[in-house]
Structure 1
Amino acid sequence: MSQNQGFIHELSAAPFLTQGQTRWITAENPTGEKGQGGKAASNLGIARKGRPCITLPQGETVVLADIQGTGILQHFWITCTNATPKGNFVLRDLVLRIYWDDEASPSVEVPLGDFFCNGFGERCKVNSQPIVVNPTGGMNCYFPMPFRQSAKITIENQHAEDIQGFFYQFHYTLVDSLPENTAYFHAQWRRENITTEGKDYTILDGVKGKGTYVGTYVAWAALERYWWGEGEIKFYLDGDEEWPTLCGTGTEDYFGGAWCFYEKENGIPVEVPYSTPYLGYPFYSKSDSTLKEKFGEDSVPMHGLYRWHLPDPIHFESDLRVTIQQIGHNSRELFERTDDVSSVAYWYQMEPHADFPILLPVHRRWPR
């Protein structure tokens, strides 16, 4: 379904009433209870924008939402600073976790910025179907996230100081029941700050059970000369071992681009970022925008890319593994590379899910 078709479907369905109780959880109504919003006072008086945001204490985990019952989380929005006097990488220092049905280990565990396709600890605009990031740092998610018993959403502040002015809104609908084939949303972050030459980077593995893979975000820092994106993505499905069932043809091909994302300006090849409903290259930079002192602002080339498998989902019945190669080209031949790669995998599956790898400590998550 195209973005336009999806919009038409949503618009055409609007007149038809369905069962459900709509709720918002915000700092103005932290429990989402009926008739309990906007009661805090400001200098203007009671119920005049008294508590629009919260502070995240340094070193603590804050429960943003704790929902009981059956329902679907349909949209959430978050915004916060991306830097403080004590550090430039707030978006990597804050960790988003989501738990379904009182599970002990999270189904979502991702640095906040990377979840919204804002890797490298830097902001960029994203205009896609499930993830939208608007000026200035307004991060939106439209992945539907159903739950049968409960949903708990937390944010852990691993930054070096408190984060002031953390704003959030969670829009969900409580329903009587969900179809038996309803799966749960998952997202997992990984990083290799130096990949191994000749060994494919693992985006996701260890997934057991039935589900659907729906998206990939990659933050790729190119550490060697020449073109970095000849590597192929591979999906190992349902018992695949040495050879995958699904094999791509190149990194830029998988993300919907071609020929190195280049267009020529005055005869010089220039990378062209883009953001579309299901495919995007929204971030490219060779300069360090976090520097406060001008010791030099050069950086390794940084590339942020996403692909959503919503009109073209990848189904698996029993297990799934996803990898991508680091292969370059020097205008004469292919060569194996080592780069700095981090990623987010997004998928739905029936519970229970396998425990995720241990999240890297905060200093090892900082971009190069």
Structure 2
Amino acid sequence: MSVPSFSLGDDLLGRAAKRRRARSARVASWDHTGRNEDAFVVMPGETAVLADLEGPGAITHLWFVQGCRLVLGPGLFDARQAGTAMVEFNNALGYNWEINDPDYYRNVIIRMYWDDQEHPSVVAPLGDFFCVGNSMPASFQSLPFTVSVKEDSERKYGGPAAFNCFLPMPFNSRARIEVENQGDAAYMQYFYVDYELYAEDLPEDTLYFHAQWRRNNPCDGWGPDLQVNSLETQVPNLDGKDNYVILETEGAGNYIGCNHTVTHFTGTWWGEGDDMIWIDDDFRADGSTTWPPSMHGTGGEDYFSHGWGMQKINYPFQGTIIHEDDVPGYQISYRWHLADPVRFEERIKVTMEHGHANHLSDDWASTAYWYQTLPGPRFDVPPADQRLPRRWEGPSMKDLPPPDRGRLDDLRKAMYEQRDARMAEFTAQRQQWLERRAEESRQRSAKNAEYAREVRRRFVARRRTDSGT
């Protein structure tokens, strides 16, 4: 039997040196006029289609950069002439008065649909999908996700950041990615959606990418004021029925991990909750679970592959994004089962205790990621007001009593009147700019779909010519 002198599999590095019957392409937010207005503007209440692709193919990379600004005072320029998506002068200079919307990472929803399913396979707040918990971005690197943030925006609510996702997302007939702005302010979205087109339909054993966000605010703990690891918390949990649920789905597939956001209230330790995962025949015919589950862990930090608490590390498959030592009460972590996927053929339920035997009542949120057969489960996210993070706020103008203009002299009254007039003019100018950019974004979205169809048409035509059909 002859053995090839050079052989490559489908490992990450080997893919680059192996020829494939594929065609690479991209849809992006680039300015079709050739100017530099490269961001989509998505108005409040609007849904923008970022990608609408015909298959067979697979998305190979997502790059997202976004911003959302709240205007507190008028700027010293014509807002209709803004060439960039956001004005970033320091507010102390007096040129403008704007802040980052602290909540928009939870107000904006990302959805993904595969093969014309009526319901999405991915539903999550934009920030949480890219591992930004509590709308507070922090730089980290892992194998499937990275986030990069400027130092002055690190661990600040709504801080601008760059997101990357490298998880493959196959589709046979169609892929659609959209974002919905459920906030009150317009936001700007730069993006790349890189993908491959294939000459043949996907194999029958192909699984489709899914992601779901969940939150318990707070978890229903039976003893939230008991000290973690105290004698009083040493009670048995022999069914897991009150555990926090990270994922529950039916079908065949692979669970590949989650990000996990904790807001801890008692100032002790949020962990000591075991992970418990039920798979296939761990379920009875009536849907109840047997004991013990197929996978039973020993503690929260243990599931995230840490030990003796959580360390400040970013490793390829596990790590900390925000550590409670840096932001008291917050812990944002991740664990990727890419080298060790949790496989299921019929059903899976991934859970974790919130404190030993579920005694803690912390605010938990998570995004689960998995691949499975279609049709996938139907799910959605809670309304926007139930998604917003608990924000620890310092002093702000909300702490000030409203000024009594009636007590001011004529000069000072005139200064307020001047500010009000400038603000009205500036707001109107800015609204015109936003509406123009939003309309151009809608047109660009439709044109991107046309470009993608044309790329697909040329690829198919060339393959037919090469094969002589």
Q: Secondary structure of 2:309's partner? A: helix
Following the alignment from structure 2 to structure 1, what is the Cα–Cα distance between the partners of residues 63 and 182?
21
* CA deviations over 1:337-361 (Å, ceiling 9, x no partner): 11100001100000011211x4111
* CA deviations over 1:265-313 (Å, ceiling 9, x no partner): xxxxxxx4211100011112578xxxxxxxxxxx860110100000001
Following the alignment from structure 1 to structure 2, what is the Cα–Cα distance between the partners of residues 284 and 210?
35
1:202 aligns with one of 220, 245, 249: 245
Following the alignment from structure 2 to structure 1, what is the Cα–Cα distance between the partners of residues 358 and 295?
23
> Do structure 1's residue 221 and structure 2's residue 263 form an aligned pair?
yes
1:54 aligns with one of 34, 40, 54: 40
Matches within 5 A, 1:187-266: 187-198=211-222, 199-205=242-248, 207-240=249-282, 241-243=289-291, 244-261=293-310
> Do structure 1's residue 143 and structure 2's residue 173 form an aligned pair?
no
The match for 2:103 is 89
Matches within 5 A, 1:121-140: 121-136=135-150, 137-140=161-164
Q: Out of 77-86 and 132-141, give the one that drifted further.
A: 77-86
CA contact (8 A) 1:107 1:187 kept: yes
CA contact (8 A) 2:247 2:349 kept: yes
Structure 1's unaligned 5+ residue stretches are: 1-5, 29-37, 43-48, 262-271, 288-298, 329-333
Q: Out of 81-90 and 168-177, give the one that drifted further.
A: 81-90
CA contact (8 A) 2:68 2:101 kept: no
| 1:345 to 1:83, Cα distance in 2 relative to 1, 3 A | farther
* 1:336, distance to aligned residue in structure 2 (A): 1.6
Q: Secondary structure of 1:277's partner? A: coil
The match for 2:386 is 364
The runs of at least 4 aligned residues of structure 1 exceeding 3 Å deviation read 8-13, 82-87
> Do structure 1's residue 104 and structure 2's residue 118 form an aligned pair?
yes
* CA deviations over 1:57-105 (Å, ceiling 9, x no partner): 1111111110012100000100112663584111111101000011111
Q: Secondary structure of 1:180's partner? A: coil
The match for 2:34 is 41
Following the alignment from structure 1 to structure 2, what is the Cα–Cα distance between the partners of residues 88 and 305?
21
CA contact (8 A) 1:87 1:159 kept: no
Following the alignment from structure 1 to structure 2, what is the Cα–Cα distance between the partners of residues 305 and 355?
26
CA contact (8 A) 2:63 2:192 kept: yes
* 1:256, distance to aligned residue in structure 2 (A): 1.2
The match for 1:163 is 187
* CA deviations over 1:27-57 (Å, ceiling 9, x no partner): 22xxxxxxxxx64132xxxxxx4x4211011
Matches within 5 A, 1:254-333: 254-261=303-310, 272-285=311-324, 301-327=329-355
Amino acid at match of 1:336: H
| 1:171 to 1:318, Cα distance in 2 relative to 1, 3 A | same
How many residues align? The count is: 318
* 1:203, distance to aligned residue in structure 2 (A): 1.0
Following the alignment from structure 1 to structure 2, what is the Cα–Cα distance between the partners of residues 157 and 300?
30
Normalized per residue, which structure has more strand? 1
* 1:178, distance to aligned residue in structure 2 (A): 1.5
- Higher gyration radius (CA): 2
Q: Report percent identity of matched pairs.
A: 35
CA contact (8 A) 1:87 1:160 kept: no
CA contact (8 A) 1:97 1:106 kept: yes
Q: TM-score, normalised by structure 1?
A: 0.82
Following the alignment from structure 1 to structure 2, what is the Cα–Cα distance between the partners of residues 149 and 16?
25
Q: Secondary structure of 1:230's partner? A: coil
| 1:214 to 1:144, Cα distance in 2 relative to 1, 3 A | same
Over the aligned positions, Cα root-mean-square deviation in angstroms equals 2.2
* 1:160, distance to aligned residue in structure 2 (A): 1.3
Normalized per residue, which structure has more helix? 2
Q: Secondary structure of 1:282's partner? A: strand
The match for 1:346 is 369
CA contact (8 A) 2:221 2:358 kept: no
Matches within 5 A, 1:57-76: 57-76=43-62
Q: Secondary structure of 2:105's partner? A: helix
* CA deviations over 1:217-276 (Å, ceiling 9, x no partner): 110111224222000111110032042110111000111111112xxxxxxxxxx42111
Q: Secondary structure of 1:80's partner? A: strand
| 1:152 to 1:260, Cα distance in 2 relative to 1, 3 A | same
Following the alignment from structure 1 to structure 2, what is the Cα–Cα distance between the partners of residues 60 and 13?
39
CA contact (8 A) 1:124 1:283 kept: yes
Amino acid at match of 1:73: I
| 1:342 to 1:39, Cα distance in 2 relative to 1, 3 A | closer
Following the alignment from structure 2 to structure 1, what is the Cα–Cα distance between the partners of residues 16 and 148?
25
